Amino acid sequence: MLSPCHIVNGHSSGTDVQGRTSLKEDLQQFLGGEAPLHQLDDLTKVNPVTLKTVLRCLQARYTEDIFYTNAGCTLVALNPFKPIPQLYAPELMQEYHAAPQPQKLKPHIFTVGEQTFRNVKSLIEPINQSIVVSGESGAGKTWTSRCLMKFYAVVASSPASCENHKMAERIEQRILNSNPVMEAFGELGVLCAVLQSHFLWDSPPSRREGVL
């Protein structure tokens, strides 16, 4: 973070001028570096951390059709404004679900879903989970929430048998059918001019095997 400017007799101190000069040099070095910005999958790796460097990094990833970026323990999602079915394919869900360490895969909403799913299903100490999906209108909150619910519906039942597959489809449909009701709570604050349409999803999977 940038430290506040020190004012001495109405003028910036020499230390502050040197700090701004150093920051400007670091900024030019980062933006003009040889390493492609789209390869930075975590914004904590951005140095220096400024609005310009963060936005430039996200822009570079967006142009490469990379729409998910970590920011420490937070996932930043960009709305692609176009269909990308392969990004949410069932096969990709299973890949994140089967990965020994899903956090080492590319940033994705499925990483968040799998980590919370494992915490809830933990045999040592199950922990209730909450996922907060927030953003401005049109950012993709509803879509992200639906992707999470579909992910849980797919991974909660093993597709080993036809009966389990049908059960997973029924679970998925029931969860997706609940989306309009859940979304209505988010829109209620907008209609009352009190809250923005921020979506809070607090519905962790059940600890019982194969049941949401």
Does the annotation flag 121 for ligand binding?
no
Does the annotation flag 138 for ligand binding?
yes
Amino acid letter, residue 70: N
Does the annotation flag 172 for ligand binding?
no
Does the annotation flag 82 for ligand binding?
no
**Separation CA 27–CA 33 (nearest Å):** 10
Closest CA to 17 of 50, 58, 25: 25
Contact status, residue 58 vs residue 66, Cβ threshold 8 Å: no
Percentages helix, strand, coil for the chain, rounded to the nearest 5? 50, 10, 40
Alpha helices for the chain (secondary structure H)? 14-31, 51-63, 90-98, 109-121, 141-156, 162-177, 179-191
Find tokens 């519906």 and name the residue.
153
Does the annotation flag 178 for ligand binding?
no
Does the annotation flag 141 for ligand binding?
yes
DSSP type of residue 158: -
**Separation CA 151–CA 143 (nearest Å):** 12
**Separation CA 126–CA 95 (nearest Å):** 23
Find tokens 């999906």 and name the residue.
133
Does the annotation flag 137 for ligand binding?
yes
Q: Residue positions in the annotated binding site? A: 135-142
Q: Residue positions in the annotated binding site for ATP? A: 135-142
